[in-house]
Amino acid sequence: MAKTAIAIIGATGNMGSAIAKSLAKGPYRLLLFAHDKAKLESVKQDITKATPSADIDCVGCPMDASWEADVIISAVPYAAEKDVVEKIRNVATQKVVVSIANPLNETYDGLVTEPGTSAAEELQKLLPSSKVVKAFNTTYAADFAQPVINGQQVDAFIAGNDEDAVDVVKGLVTTAGFNAIVAGDLSKSRTLEAMQALLIQLTIKNNYNWLAGFKILHN
Amino acid sequence: MFELLFTKFDEKVQLTEEEKELAKTFFLPKKLRKRQYLLQEGDISKYVAFVEKGTLRSYTVDERGVEHIIQFAFEGWWIGDMYSFITNEPSTYNIDALEDCELLLLSQQAEEQMFEKIPKMERFFRILVQNSLIATQRRLVGSLSQTAEERYNDLVASCPTIPQRVPQHMMASFLGITPETLSRIRKQASLKK
Ligand SMILES: NC(=O)c1ccc[n+]([C@@H]2O[C@H](COP(=O)([O-])OP(=O)(O)OC[C@H]3O[C@@H](n4cnc5c(N)ncnc54)[C@H](OP(=O)(O)O)[C@@H]3O)[C@@H](O)[C@H]2O)c1
């Protein structure tokens, strides 16, 4: 199969680097972008050491990374997404854009988005000709190194309006080692983002040490 | 990014500035590096590609592992596997980049949406399909009845820079002749000049 190229914007972050590392094992070409070039290069080297077969390149600007990509993962803080969108808008049309953001306020006790919308839906408004899919927002960065916690494979939820785009993202989530569950259309992101806000609050309160996740128990 | 595509549109249909802006939103801009695949045998061809920059080829590989080149595509040309694109059946073709490429990809769904929003585009694509049918028929008749030399001349006429841009053995594969025969034809052609 012709390789799917994935741009990761913010690839030096906790999430960006964790996602890059776990997807490097799959049949993907990874295009990494972040402002700090030295740090980005060291992320790339770590990945190549762990996965010598990785097809991975550091790219000088978010637009070039996104232009070459089929799928764009926005791994920057919610507040920085507008800025990223301005740079990639012209090369993101018709592409799958993955929203991983949790729009938490500074004290982690609430969301900065209005009720009735979500970070993913706001991103879709900014990129009306792209196919925004919510994913990876309910899994902590540390979960990527350990997608099975206490013998249970962590569930990872996906929401999106375009069936083919959701399928593509399902492939990424599965490659990363999680149990992919399609939650529904993009508006389900409101629930998914609120779920993670709760998990963060509980993590702080109960000391889960930032290694935690959701698991639906069923027969 | 869209310069060449709009030049091609302008040759056949008249779009307003608003329609051009709208048309842009249906295309997926994609960069491909030399030797990367746009399509591999067994994939479903989800897109047809317009070439803004670069060169690609489509080819099949027979049971003995020999490549047969079906088509080249240069700036301003379209390439894809129409059969797989329309039927959603796995493709028997490979399409790869012979140079770094800048492409504009159009999916079936986006194409339908574009026709609905900009009906003039349907005319553009009708003419495109007509021309491609004519070219296919010419190539078929050529391979049945023309000499290798005539086919070589047709190929060079369709793209005069092709001998500089495409390796000899690929041109030979496209023409269905051995590289030795091609180099003999080229030598004779240069003597005639
Ligand atoms: N941490 C988690 O466990 C977790 C879990 C689920 C979802 N998330 C979500 O994932 C996203 C990233 O979180 P994180 O914890 O990985 O954050 P982080 O470690 O602070 O990383 C953020 C990344 O974004 C880049 N960045 C920041 N501002 C930018 C801008 N204006 N333009 C381009 N790049 C910019 C940063 O590097 P440069 O400034 O050098 O480019 C860095 O690579 C957030 O939306 C968060 O809600 C996080």
- Does pLDDT of A217 surpass 80? yes
Task: Tell me the C-alpha distance between A138 and A146, whole Å.
Answer: 14
Residues forming a β-bridge with A169:
none
The set of residues, in sequence order, having a beta carbon less than 8 Å from that of B41 and lying 6+ positions away, is B60, B61, B90, B91, B92, B93, B94
Where does the pLDDT of residue B191 fall: very low under 50, low under 70, confident under 90, or very high at 90 and above? confident
For A90-137, the pLDDT digits (tens) are 999 999 999 999 999 999 999 999 999 999 999 999 999 999 999 999
Q: Closest approach of chain A CAs to the CA of B174, in angstroms?
A: 22
B175: domain range? Answer: 146-193
- Whole-number pLDDT of residue A162: 98
**Residues B105 and B73 reside in one and the same domain:** yes
| Mutation site for A-interface testing, chosen from B31, B32, B107 by largest number of A Cβ within 10 Å | B31
Confidence check: pLDDT of B14 > 70: yes
Distance from CA of A94 to the nearest CA of B (A): 5
For residue A42, name the pLDDT band (cuts at 50, 70, 90).
very high
Tokens 């972050």 belong to residue:
A13
pLDDT at residue A89 greater than cutoff 90: yes
Give the pLDDT score at A88: 98
* B66, B108: one domain: yes
Question: A5 CA to chain B: closest CA distance, Å?
Answer: 10
Q: What one-character DSSP code corresponds to residue A143?
A: G
| Cβ contact B2:B104 at 8 Å | yes
Residue A120 · residue A103 · CB < 8 Å: no
- Give the pair of three-digit tokens for residue B79: 């390439």
pLDDT for the residue numbered B56: 97
Q: Yes or no: say if A78 and A101 are a contact pair by the CB < 8 Å rule.
A: yes
B32 and B108 in one domain?
yes
CA distance A174 to A25: 11
Q: Please give the average per-residue pLDDT across A197-203, as a whole number.
A: 97
User: Which of A1, A91, A94 lies nearest to residue B42, judging by beta carbons?
Assistant: A1
Ligand 1, residue A102: give the atom nearest the CA: 47
- pLDDT value at residue A48: 97
SS in 3 state form for B40-58? CCCCECCEEEEEEECCEEE
Domain match, B151 and B84 both: no
Both B29 and B104 in one domain: the answer is yes
Confidence tier at B52 by pLDDT (50, 70, 90): very high
Can you tell me the mean pLDDT for A14-24? 98
pLDDT in tens, B134-173: 988 988 998 899 999 999 998 899 889 998 999 999 999 9
Single-letter residue type at A219: N
Q: Ligand 1 in contact with A126 (CB < 6 A)?
A: no
A147 lines ligand 1 (CB under 6 A): no
Burial class (CB in 10 A: 0-12, 13-18, 19+), A89: middle
Confidence of residue B189 (pLDDT cuts 50, 70, 90): confident
Q: Which of A80, A2, A83, A67 is nearest to A31 (CA)?
A: A67
Same domain, B50 and B17: yes
Average pLDDT, chain A: 97
B132, B166: one domain: no
Q: Which residue type does B115 have?
A: F
Q: Report the CATH number at residue B21.
A: 2.60.120.10
Q: Say if ligand 1 is within 6 A of residue A201 CB.
A: no
How many distinct structural domains can be found in chain B? Answer: 2
Note the pLDDT of residue A113. 97
Return mean pLDDT, chain B: 94
Judge whether residue B29 has pLDDT over 80. Answer: yes
Is-contact A198 A110, C-beta < 8 A? no
Q: Are residues B189 and B113 in the same domain?
A: no
Q: Give B134's contacts (C-beta < 8 A, 6+ positions apart).
A: none
**pLDDT at residue number A86:** 97
Domains along chain A?
4-206 (3.40.50.720)
Average pLDDT of the segment spanning A138-162: 97
pLDDT at residue B192 is higher than 80: no
pLDDT at A17: 98
Query: How far apart (Å, rounded) are the C-alpha atoms in residues B170 and B150?
Result: 17
**pLDDT value at residue B193:** 63
For residues B47 and B82, membership in a common domain is answered with: yes
A191, pLDDT greater than 70: yes
**Which pLDDT value is given to residue B10?**
94
Q: Do A3 and B36 touch (CB under 8 A)?
A: yes
Is the model's pLDDT at A79 over the cut of 90? Answer: yes
End position of a domain, from candidates B123, B145, B167: B145
ipTM for the complex? 0.93
- Amino acid, res. B47: Y
Residue A113 burial class via C-beta count within 10 angstroms: exposed 0-12, middle 13-18, buried 19 and up: buried
pLDDT at B158: 86
Is the domain of B41 the same as that of B124? yes
